[in-house]
Amino acid sequence: MIEMQGICKTYRVRRREAGLGNAFKSLLSREYTEIPALRDMTFTVPDGQILGYIGPNGAGKSTTIKILSGILRPDSGACTVDGLVPWENRKAHVARLGVVFGQRSQLWWDVPVMESFDLLRDIYRVPAPVYRENLNRLTALLDLGDLLKTPARMLSLGQRMRCEIAAALLHGPKVLFLDEPTIGLDAVSKLKVREFILEQNRLCGTTVLLTTHDMQDIDALCSRVLLIGKGRLLLDGDTAQIRAMAGEDLSTEEAVADLYRCFGI
Amino acid sequence: MKLYLKFLSIHLRSAMTYRSSFFLSCLGQVLITTNVFLSVVFLMDRFQSIGGYTLPQLSLCYAVILAGTSLAECFARGLDAFGRILSQAQFDRIMLRPRPLLFQVLCQDMKPTMFARVLQAAVMLIWALGAGAVRWTPAKALTLALMILCGAGVFFGVFLINACVTFFTLEHIEALNIFMDGPREYGKYPFGVYGKPVLLILTFLVPLALVQHWPLQFLFDRGPAWYGLLPLAALLFLIPCGLLWRLGVRHYRSTGS
């Protein structure tokens, strides 16, 4: 169960006009702009749900994920994930959490994927039988077989993403955050990733929070969708509702742009 | 600890993937420091003694500092690379893993080629001892070991401060290298030869003199025996360093999406 109650987060960004003169000026006096990233964000996610989290760039999606995973502490508001406050019980919290950032890797670059996995086993202190079972299941479902012997830097993006997802699930987390997991993938890899997420959710009851810009991801996976813009929650509904609002086929960019426009974001 | 060794083995293996680069970089490390030491040797060739120290004594002094910095640099390399770890958002990933943060940062990067320098320091030390730098007693042997280990500790603290500053500036501040590369360069002479102000700073602010100048006085029979225990006091330096680290972690704001 994920609960967020009135979470606010503001970034202070140092401002500076372009140019050398202004660069010098900023050495002496600094101007800050306050950028509100989240304003009064409130929602709950029950166990075993696949939740889609959508909104334009800069809406606050990543900030939410970072707060929920304990990387950032919010300015105000309360938040628990399975009864733990992420930024206060960091170690206990992250031991039960899997996170995949589509744009960043958690595998060690120069060593075969299998060694990264073994290292993760030690970091998370996964008992040997549990590890073996998880590894076998993930290898079969994600079709990793030969990839395990390859150094991460030699993998294609699609192959790497499958390994990343496996890496995030080796310790059998109850909650999985996926931050743009299908970004840059080809059609076949996307389908494989989606199919796997559904399978994982069905078999293990894993709660999944998914951010994406790809409405087909949402369509294929999510039973519920949160739409956010400018740090506020704008819509909390199921996929059918979103589809009705967008008016037509959700998979077109125009429909999504229309959707954002009608919320003024 | 087991986990740390695993990381060490991974770094060692990735360093050795590029074989010729590995050996060249080992060689490079040794050449640089040999150079520094040779400058002492040539000076001594003309003047016989500097600040009242003989060549074997200075060589002992340099070996101690060299071993300390190299050990610290080998294991605390992750702190030196901390600016990169922050700006490439690797720290986010670190926070997502159920292990102590500082421990993980140390695991991020290690520099096995630094062992070449530790080896070099050992050779210099053996030569200095053979050449009669010190009249040995068991207490002096203990002091020597303390000097090297606590020296590594103080340098580790300097690295840590350096990394903490990065939390606030988000980039590596080159100026702080003064405290890292400086002592290695100037540590070839006991800090006393640089005059009183320098000695005071290095005793009370960044306590490098506590692992070098003062215990050396004991080793060379110029000071009381309790000077030999001063390296332990230098470790107090690590307390403010640790507090600063905590402050930095609280201040951390992630970057990028």
Does residue A64 share a domain with residue A11? yes
Identify the weakest region by mean pLDDT among A22-26, A72-76, A100-104, A152-156. Answer: A22-26
Does residue A193 share a domain with residue A143? no
Does residue A189 share a domain with residue A72? yes
CB contact under 8 A, B254 and A72: yes
One digit per residue, pLDDT tens: chain B, 257 residues? 788 888 888 888 777 777 788 888 888 878 887 877 787 778 777 777 777 888 888 888 888 988 998 888 888 888 888 888 887 778 889 999 999 999 999 988 887 777 788 888 888 888 888 887 788 888 899 999 999 999 999 999 988 988 888 888 766 666 666 766 777 777 778 888 888 888 888 888 888 889 988 999 998 888 898 998 999 999 999 999 999 999 988 888 776 54
Residue B89's pLDDT is 79
What average pLDDT is seen over chain A? Answer: 87
For residue A180, pLDDT beyond 80: yes
Closest chain A residue by Cα to residue B95: A71
Q: Does residue A99 or residue A214 have the better pLDDT?
A: A99
Residue B256: inside a domain, yes or no?
no
Residue B49's pLDDT is 76
Closest chain A residue by Cα to residue B92: A71
Angle at A17 between CA A13 and CA A18, to 5 degrees: 120
CB contact under 8 A, B98 and A123: yes
Q: Which stretch of DSSP H or E encloses residue B135?
A: none
Residue A167's pLDDT is 95
Residue B172's pLDDT is 61
Count of the separate structural domains present in chain B: 1
Residue B175: inside a domain, yes or no?
yes
CB contact under 8 A, B98 and A104: no
> Where does a domain end: A147, A168, A189?
A168
| ipTM of this complex | 0.84
Does residue A188 share a domain with residue A149? no
Residue A127: inside a domain, yes or no?
yes
> Where does a domain end: A168, A198, A221?
A168
Does residue A162 share a domain with residue A47? no
Identify the weakest region by mean pLDDT among A174-183, A234-243, B55-64, B180-189. Answer: B180-189
Residue B175's pLDDT is 67
Does residue A201 share a domain with residue A255? yes
Residue B257: inside a domain, yes or no?
no
Closest chain B residue by Cα to residue A10: B253
| Interface with B, mutate which of A11, A34, A91, A100 (most B CBs under 10 A) | A91
Residue A209: inside a domain, yes or no?
yes
Phi-psi region of A184 (alpha: psi -120 to 50; beta: other; left: phi over 0): left
Q: Is A14 on the interface with B (CB under 8 A)?
A: no
Q: How far is A81 from chain B (nearest CA, A)?
A: 14
For residue A85, pLDDT beyond 90: yes
Nearest to B253 among A11, A69, A70 (CB): A11
Does residue A253 share a domain with residue A201? yes
CB contact under 8 A, B97 and A94: yes
CB contact under 8 A, A119 and B92: no
Strand order in the sheet with A207-211: A97-101, A175-179, A207-211, A50-54, A224-229, A232-237
CB contact under 8 A, A104 and B257: no
Stretch A242-254: mean pLDDT: 69
**Structure tokens that stand for A231 in this block:** 């740090």
Q: Which stretch of DSSP H or E encloses residue B81?
A: none
Count of the separate structural domains present in chain A: 2
> Which residues in chain B are closer than 8 Å to A91, comparing Cβ atoms?
98-99
Does residue A81 share a domain with residue A126? no
CATH code of the domain containing A208: 3.40.50.300
> Which residues in chain A are closer than 8 Å to B92, comparing Cβ atoms?
66, 71, 101, 104
- Please name the residue that has the structure tokens 């987060």: A9
Q: For a pLDDT cut of 90, what percent of chain A falls above it?
A: 50
> Which residues in chain A are closer than 8 Å to B7, comparing Cβ atoms?
119
Does residue A157 share a domain with residue A87? no
Residue A94's pLDDT is 94
Residue among A79, A165, A97, A115 nearest B98 (CA): A97
Q: Is A70 on the interface with B (CB under 8 A)?
A: yes
Domain that holds residue B227: 2-251
Residue A238's pLDDT is 84
Q: How far is A58 from chain B (nearest CA, A)?
A: 9
Residue A101: inside a domain, yes or no?
no
Closest chain B residue by Cα to residue A177: B96
> Which residues in chain B are closer than 8 Å to A115, comparing Cβ atoms?
10
Residue A121's pLDDT is 94
Does residue A154 share a domain with residue A181? no
Residue among A226, A228, A216 nearest A253 (CA): A216
CB contact under 8 A, B98 and A94: yes
Domain that holds residue A14: 2-96+174-262
Residue B245's pLDDT is 92
Closest chain B residue by Cα to residue A95: B98
> Where does a domain end: A168, A187, A212?
A168
Does residue A77 share a domain with residue A33? yes
pLDDT in tens, A31-49: 778 888 899 999 999 999 9
